[in-house]
Structure formats: C-alpha cells, structure tokens
Amino acid sequence: MSNSRSIGQDGVGLELSDILSLIAEKKKDVEVVEGRVQFAKEVLDLIDAADATGHAEIAREALKRLATACRSLIGRPFLTLLQGLINNLISIGLGRESSFSAAVLGDNALMEKAWQDTGMLAEAVLRAH
C-alpha cells in the first residue's frame, strides 16, 4: 500500500518539448490547408472566367488538375470526413459548392446527389449536352 500514490501515473505526462512539437505539427497542418484553400479559390476563379468566356476546354483542364492535386493529398480517413462535410453542404442547399467538392473527391454518386437534392440536376444535364 505504500506505493499506492503512483498507481496510474506511469508515463502519463507530456514534456514541454512534446507539447511544442504537437503545436508545431498542428500549425503546419493549418498552413497547408490554408494554402490548398487559396489554391482552390484561384482555380475556381479561373474556371469561372474560362466558362464565362466560352473556353470550356480550359475550365475542364483546370478542374481536372485541381481534382488530381486535391486527391493526391487526401488520406482515406479524411475522405470520409470530407464526404460528411459535402453532405452538410447539400443539406443547406449549396449545390455548386457541394457538387464541385464531390467532383474533386471523384465521388460521382455524391455529385449526383448534390445535383438532385439542390435542384441542379436539370442545369447539369443542360450543360452536358
């Protein structure tokens, strides 16, 4: 019983260097995500400009490159999280954003769900023909 004070305290504490390391990793992750968001915004602007000026091929290529870049950076657990976030976008009626996000993930079923649930299916069919 004289050792009862130390029960459950073996190797529990983190040292300051461990905490600083975790903070640095999180900060790096945030910077990476912010960089990707900025890149995505710039590509979306390019796609909108190309679409508005009748340069569909440029818009299509930009979208393909953005999708490839995003998919190469995403791991499987993160995909599940993103699919949930896309469903949230669908539920609040953000059809364009949710269908684009689903396209970036390469999830055709989710993209079609976004179109149907937000009333964009007719528009998507018209643009496809």
Residue 66: CB partners within 8 Å, gap ≥ 6?
A: 39, 40, 43, 104
3 state DSSP class of 106: coil
pTM flag (> 0.75): no
- Digit-by-digit pLDDT tens for the chain (129 residues) are 555 555 555 544 557 776 777 777 777 777 777 777 787 788 778 888 887 888 878 877 877 777 776 666 666 667 777 888 888 888 888 888 888 888 878 888 888 888 888 877 766 666 665
